[in-house]
Amino acid sequence: MRRLLATTFLAAVSAAAFGQKSAADGIAEYRAMLADGNPAELFEAKGEDLWKQKRGPKNVSLEKCDLGKGPGVVKGAFVELPRWFADTKKVQDLETRLVTCMETLQGFDGAAIAKTPFGKGEQNNLTALATWIAAESRGMRFNLPQGHGEEKKMYEVGKRVFFYRGGPMDFSCASCHGEDGKRIRLQDLPNLTKNPGDGIGFAAWPAYRVSNGQMWGMQLRLNDCYRQQRFPFPGFGSEPTVALGVYMGVNAKGAESIAPAIKR
C-alpha cells in the first residue's frame, strides 16, 4: 500500500512538471500579443486601394473581377477558392485568379507577373490584394465547391502531389503534415490530411511573418514548403500548387478562416 502511494506521489510530481507552460503555449501567447497590431492590416489597406485603383495598360480597376461569386463580389470568395472557372476553363486559386483579372481587365502581362520573384513589383501588389480579399472573408468557414468534374480531379491530383515523395531527402508534404502532434523545432505542424481545426493550416494564409517582416500568400507558402523539402521550386500558379490548394481547402471544410494571420 505504502509503495503504491509512493508511486502515485511520483506520478503526481511528474504530471506537475509537464503541466508547465509548453513551448507551444509560449508561442501562442507571443502571437496573441502581436495579433493586436498585426502588420497584415497595412497590406489589407494597400490591397483594398489596389482593388479600387485604376491601373495597368488599360487603366481600369479590378472591381469587375469575378472571384467565383460573380463580378466584383469579394466577401466570401476566399473560403470557396480554389474553384473551377468557366472562362479560363481551369481550376484557379486566389492568386492565379487575380493574375487572370489583372490580365483580362487591366491588360497586365500575366506570364511576366508569374515570373516576377515574390515580394517584388506586381507580385507584391498581388500579395496585398490577396491579403485584403482573404480579410473580407475573415470568420467565415471553408466550403470549397466540388461539383465540377475538374474540381474533383484536382482534389485527387492534390492528394497525389501531397503524398508524392522525392528530392534528395525523399520527402513528401505528408512526411511533416500527415500525422497529428508533429512539430519542427518549436512549431506545431498541422495534419493537413484532414480538417486541422479553425484558423490552422490553409485557413491561416496569407499571413505576416514577424521574423522576416514579409507578407506571404499561399503560393509563397507552398514554394517555401518545397524549398524545405529540397525539391525544385514549383512554378508560380502551376497546376500542382493549385491542386494542393484544392486538397487542403477541401480537407479544411468547415474550418474558420482567420487569414490574414500572424506567424512567428
Name the site residues for other proteins (rule: CB under 8 A).
Answer: 36-39, 41-42, 45-46, 210, 213
Please identify, using beta-carbon distances, which residue of 33 and 112 lies nearer to other proteins: 33
Report which secondary-structure segment, H or E, holds 153: helix 149-163
Give least dist CB 211 to other proteins, A: 10
DSSP string, 166-188: BTTTTB-HHHHHSSTTEEETTEE
Nearest to 128 by CA among 67, 214, 63: 214
Instruction: Given the residues 101, 173, 176, 225, select the one marked as catalytic.
Output: 225
Catalytic site residue 225?
A: yes
Please identify, using beta-carbon distances, which residue of 171 and 208 lies nearer to other proteins: 208
Whether residue 260 has a cis bond before it, omega within 30° of 0: yes
All cell numbers assigned to 150: 475538374
Please identify, using beta-carbon distances, which residue of 32 and 42 lies nearer to other proteins: 42
**Which DSSP category does 38 fall into?**
-
Map grid coordinates 477558392 to a residue. 81
Give least dist CB 200 to other proteins, A: 24
Please identify, using beta-carbon distances, which residue of 14 and 211 lies nearer to other proteins: 211
Inter-residue long-range contacts of 222-229, CB under 8 Å, 24+ positions, other chains counted = 223/118, 225/173, 229/167, 229/169, 229/171, 229/172, 229/173, 229/175
Query: 3-18 burial, b for 16+ CB within 10 Å, e for fewer?
Result: eeeeeeeeeeeeeeee
Please identify, using beta-carbon distances, which residue of 159 and 209 lies nearer to other proteins: 209
Active site residues: 225
